[in-house]
Amino acid sequence: MKTDKNTAASSPRGLVIAGLSGGSGKSVAAVGLLAALRAQGRKVLPFKKGPDYIDAGWLAKAAGRPCYNLDPYLASPEQLRHTFFGHLGPETEIALVEGNRGLYDGVNASGSYSTAELAILLNLPVLLVVNCAKATRTIAALVLGCRMFDPRLSISGIILNQVATARHERIIRESLAQSGDIPVVGIIPRLAADIFPMRHLGVTPHQEYSGAEQAVQGLAEMAARHFDLDAIVHLMSAIHVPQALKPTPAKPASQRVRIGVMRDAAFQFYYEENLEALEQHGAELVMINALSAECLPDGLHGLYIGGGFPETSAQALADNHSFRLSLRQAIEQGLPVYAECGGLIYLGRSLLLDGKEYPLTGIFPVSFSLAAKPQAHGYSILQVEGGNSFYEPGLQIKGHEFRYSKVQQWSGTSKNLVFKVQRGTGFYEGRDGLVYKNVLALYTHVLASGMPAWARGFMQAAEEHHRKSAG
């Protein structure tokens, strides 16, 4: 559908895409909408209610721009506003926030930290995606219930997912019209197959899916055909960016430090906020492919190894002997290394998969394997008790875990772990955080926008290494 660009105001416009539950189709709707609006020449910027890496990656691919996480648990309301408003520069016409789980689902019965609370905080209307499989008039009851549940929330439009036939659609539309005035602004026909291939952590990351480009293009065409794009843009609210929260350029540091980031098919779980936080502190980021690079680049003062799926690239990681050797040598020479989840696994001795053992870097004397069910899933809180190069003792760290990996064999004890787990699972017996020289490896993921101490500590460690190596 052709969209009249005169509907766009000088200030950006935005909305939240939410569902009644996980699996409602909101990611299909969000990716399709972003890609369709982008195809019209609109400047779109995606956000994802976190914690989330994979959905955020698909949103970023659809928008052609980084996607930022908005997590009300990991970040304060003020920090959330900084993340949201601080990225709405003149290059943004439309901001779209994809929620998670159900609209009112939070960490407790009060719905704390829910998508609804985020929409209210940002003063954005909600576009509700409803799975209509095997239901007709009941959909109207569900929508009416959501609308009345919290009068502070504005549900401004509906997208009907899993629409089987024209008759199915007509009955639902008529039922909704009889029960309220929230317009249906699009449908998603019942699809023969999943657009996004699934596996053990949910959706396959677009970096590992050869058909990612085709999938996004297909969703863009679906949205252009079945969504009323004009109506959706019209129901978005204008966003007035506070002057104090307007984007500001990064300030270069007095001495430039180079921090390597292992970013490839195996290690892809990075919050854009984390990378930007390092840059804002003056770091030069150097992207590294651990699958193909022969060695670490020269002149690094720090290394960041994020999470991901080392198990799907285990053979390639094991085969790259020269890279693993160069990393070991750099660590022995004092290179500060911060590793999360998949990065922790990579620094272990080996990974056991289907009866085969894949050798890894061997920095820590631990072997990992994969379980059939999640071994940790949810938010975590850590208390820093032991010495390390990145965090001051006594600091409380908020993060999250989501993994199928488990410790298969380890010769250490809980005394070797520097964090006490106050919430979550951690590495072993209620603790997390392996330390060797200037290396810190842990299962917990951290969001820099909610944990400013992370980037500061990382930069301090890198700058100290820079001074020592230069002197």
Query: Nearest CA to 209 among 31, 22, 445?
Result: 31
Full DSSP string of 92-136? -SEEEEEEEEETT--SSTT-TT-HHHHHHHHT--EEEEEE-TT-S
Residue 471 CB contacts under 8 Å (≥ 6 apart), including other chains: none
Full DSSP string of 25-72? SHHHHHHHHHHHHHHTT--EEEEEESS-SHHHHHHHHHHTS--EEE-T
How many Cα atoms occupy the beta-carbon half-sphere of 308 within 13 Å?
28
Query: How far apart, in Å, are the Cα atoms of 81 and each of 9, 14, 374?
Result: 21, 14, 32
Place of tokens 């052709």: 2
The dihedral region occupied by 95, where left means phi > 0, alpha psi between -120 and 50, and beta the remainder, is: beta
The active-site residue, picked from 67, 132, 146, 341, is: 341
Tokens of 447: 């969001």
Q: Is 108 exposed, middle or buried (0-12, 13-18, 19+ CB in 10 A)?
A: exposed
Is residue 341 annotated as a catalytic residue, yes or no?
yes
DSSP state of 243: G
Question: Catalytic residue positions?
Answer: 341
